[in-house]
A and B are shown apart, each in its own frame.
Chain A
Amino acid sequence: MRMRTGGRFARATGLVVAVTLAVGAAACGDDDTAASDGSGGSVDLVAYSTPQEAYADIIEAFKADGHDGVDVSESYGASGDQSRAVEAGQPADYVAFSLEPDVNRLVEADLVADDWNSGQYHGMVTDSVVVLVVRPGNPKNIESWDDLIEDDVEVVTPNPFTSGGARWNVMAAYGAQIQQGRSEDEAQQYLADLFANVIVQDDSARKSLQTFSGGAGDVLLAYENEAIFAQQSGEDIEYIVPDDTILIENPVALTTGGADDQAAEDFLDFVYTTDAQRIFADHGYRPVVEGVAEPNEFPTPSGLFTIDDFGGWSEVSSTFFDPEDSVMADVERGIGVSTGG
């Protein structure tokens, strides 16, 4: 037992070193892009953080595919932060976010055309689903959403008011109840019971994964691609795809500046090619283009539903996630009272 905890600490230390090295490598990477002559035009890519590794591979493939002279600058960060940065003036041609409201913010600012989602894939470039990540061997025997509200189960999920992505988790939990024939009141009660079991509400999805890897909790609510990423990084975890869960859809768009730019348009076309979609799949995302994924690579859950089943994001944002008057504000306040403020 002592050995195991020692190993955990060593791994945390290792992670600190790895993060430092990665930052250093990223800084060097900047120099490389700057060295490109940019004669084939340039693309300013602004994206949320999780697909960073996938985009690195895709950009490489894009350049190899006859766009060698295109200068691609990359910026990654929390989805909401990135969206606000572009709204405030950060140069961007191609934007990729974890959820649609972050694109809508730019549509309202006239930075993205309002027909951005009118194409064949409705503006979505990758899909995923909300899954239940558990400890090796699934010691608490977690099989379904109902198991998460048992008394002795500790759950980790990011705070839906700080993490836009955490809202997928909440809607998956809520929608699964509706899918199982429960009423809206019962589904809200389920959210209250679920969040009473939540021991940590990190400010982002990646930090939740970090918290869970650090030993906290029995179950982590996460996106399937994050669970696959964790396994690829050597984390000792398992995950369960519940029968009833939500289809996560990640949007991309060209800004009004990028739409006039041939290189940016070429890049947008390229992310829908079989090659690029395959790269996304290798990094755990469900491709939106049919026929890219292997037949059993990403099994479709029997009770899969989408955000449109609840009226779409603009409806859901105000009903569920208004900070002062919404389903989740009531849930958090209810728990706050019972835990003694």
Chain B
Amino acid sequence: MRPGTGLGLGLATLYMSAIVLVPLGAVVWRSRGDGWSGFWHDVTTPEASSTLRLTVGVSLAVAVINAGFGTLIAWVLVRDRFAGKRFVDALIDLPFALPTIVAGLVLLALYGPESPLGVDLAYTRPGVVVALLFVTLPFVVRTVQPVLIELDREMEEAAASLGATRATIFRRIILPNLMPAIAAGTALSFARAISEYGATVLISGNLPFKTQVASVHIFSQIENDNTTGAAAVSTVLLLVSLVVLLSLDLVQRWAVRRD
């Protein structure tokens, strides 16, 4: 081991523990406050199970849409030339900068009952999906973009000279190279969507059993001084995110190995 490596590892571990592992561990620990049967009860009440199903469902939809359109946007930004490209490129990160509650407010004004565009998605599940798409846009774009920039164009040119069609080149050469980045970005946007509160709280209308997302349900548990129940539902969200992150990590490894 080179000198300094031990120090670096120690610092990284300490930092990770203080900032992430201990808080996450505390949530999981808290969720067991009423034992396993209490945990099971908290996450299977009609409200909790409905809100979890909805949240996981819309987050999956958001992740899939992001995988497609995020890749497309990254492609356009890297491979196409058009006026204002740098401006659009800078725009991609803005959803991160805007407080999500403001994002919700603006989306409601644009796609709500008084929509100047004539599109009313307020208080519906599609409205929730749109709000989540807004806040998760940068993930796939920003993970795919650098890979696409680094991608060796000579491979594509070689394939073309050997008679491969553009579709074949995309499917056999470009996509496999992008897969790890797409998988990573998709996983991030799923994990973010599953826990979002601010952007969805206004546009969803919070109708129980219809548009109430898990984070709002968790908030209502806290409001009722049921922190154990809140931690239990949070733990389920953490587990679902973990499963999705791990399985997309497997996709990345598989894609890398095929290279």
Min CB gap A239→B, angstroms: 20
Tell me if A201 is interfacial: C-beta within 8 Å of chain B.
Answer: yes
Taking A6-B116, A333-B46 as contacts, is the C-beta distance between A201 and B206 under 8 angstroms? yes
Min CB gap A319→B, angstroms: 14
Tell me if B76 is interfacial: C-beta within 8 Å of chain A.
Answer: no
Chain A residues with CB under 8 Å of B102's CB are: 16, 19-20
Taking A203-B219, A323-B226 as contacts, is the C-beta distance between A214 and B113 under 8 angstroms? yes
* Contact status A8-B46, CB under 8 Å: no
Tell me if B50 is interfacial: C-beta within 8 Å of chain A.
Answer: yes
Tell me if B220 is interfacial: C-beta within 8 Å of chain A.
Answer: yes
Min CB gap B5→A, angstroms: 40
* Contact status A12-B220, CB under 8 Å: no
Chain A residues within 8 Å of B, Cβ to Cβ = 5-6, 8-9, 12-13, 15-16, 19-20, 80, 84, 105, 159, 161-164, 198-203, 207, 210-211, 214-216, 321-324, 332-333, 335-337, 339-341
* Contact status B115-A5, CB under 8 Å: yes
Could you show 7 A-B contacts with beta carbons less than 8 Å apart? Answer: A5-B115, A80-B222, A159-B206, A200-B123, A323-B226, A333-B208, A335-B209
* Contact status B208-A332, CB under 8 Å: yes
Tell me if B90 is interfacial: C-beta within 8 Å of chain A.
Answer: no
Please, how many angstroms separate the alpha-carbon atoms of A20 and B106 in the complex?
13
* Contact status B201-A161, CB under 8 Å: no
Give 8 new A-B contacts, CB below 8 A, not counting A12-B109, A199-B205. Answer: A159-B212, A207-B202, A211-B205, A216-B123, A323-B45, A324-B45, A336-B208, A341-B210
* Contact status A200-B207, CB under 8 Å: yes
What number of B residues sit within 8 Å (CB to CB) of A?
36
Q: Which 3 residue pairs spanning A and B have beta carbons closest together?
A: A336-B209, A12-B109, A215-B114
Chain A residues with CB under 8 Å of B206's CB are: 159, 162, 200-203
Min CB gap B202→A, angstroms: 6
* Contact status B205-A332, CB under 8 Å: no
Tell me if B195 is interfacial: C-beta within 8 Å of chain A.
Answer: no
* Contact status B46-A12, CB under 8 Å: no
* Contact status A214-B108, CB under 8 Å: yes
Please, how many angstroms separate the alpha-carbon atoms of A201 and B211 in the complex?
10
Chain B residues with CB under 8 Å of A9's CB are: 109-110, 114, 116
Chain A residues with CB under 8 Å of B205's CB are: 199-202, 211
Chain A residues with CB under 8 Å of B122's CB are: 200, 216
